[in-house]
């Protein structure tokens, strides 16, 4: 089984300016795995990217790993 939480956390920590404030939660449910990303307010734009390109790339990587394992994964950013 792929650890999607660690995969997403590794990617996000290398994108942001404040890697210590990155929080990634992973929940397994009936519909698949749900990954929630929390970053500092200043880094939200870095994770989302222009027109959502960066977050879509992160989602694509997680989904590619999930397809290989025969699972489903959703990645979202939580804004506080």
- pTM score: 0.90
For 3-15, the pLDDT digits (tens) are: 899 999 999 999 9
- Which range marks the domain in which residue 14 is found? 4-77
Structural domain count of the chain? 1
pLDDT given for residue 1 in this prediction = 65
Residue 32 confidence (pLDDT) above 90: no
Q: Look up the CATH number of the domain holding residue 31.
A: 3.30.300.20
By DSSP bridging, strand 32-38 and strand 23-29 are antiparallel
Q: Where are the alpha helices (DSSP H) in 1-80?
A: 4-13, 44-48, 53-69
């Amino acid at each position: 089984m792929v650890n999607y939480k660690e995969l997403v956390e590794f990617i996000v920590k290398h994108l942001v300016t404040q890697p210590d404030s990155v929080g990634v939660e992973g929940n397994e449910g009936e519909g698949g795995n749900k990954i929630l990303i929390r970053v500092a307010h200043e880094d939200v734009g870095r994770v989302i990217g222009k027109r959502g390109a960066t977050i879509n790339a992160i989602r694509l990587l997680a989904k590619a790993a999930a397809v290989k394992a025969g699972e489903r994964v959703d990645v979202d950013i939580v804004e506080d």
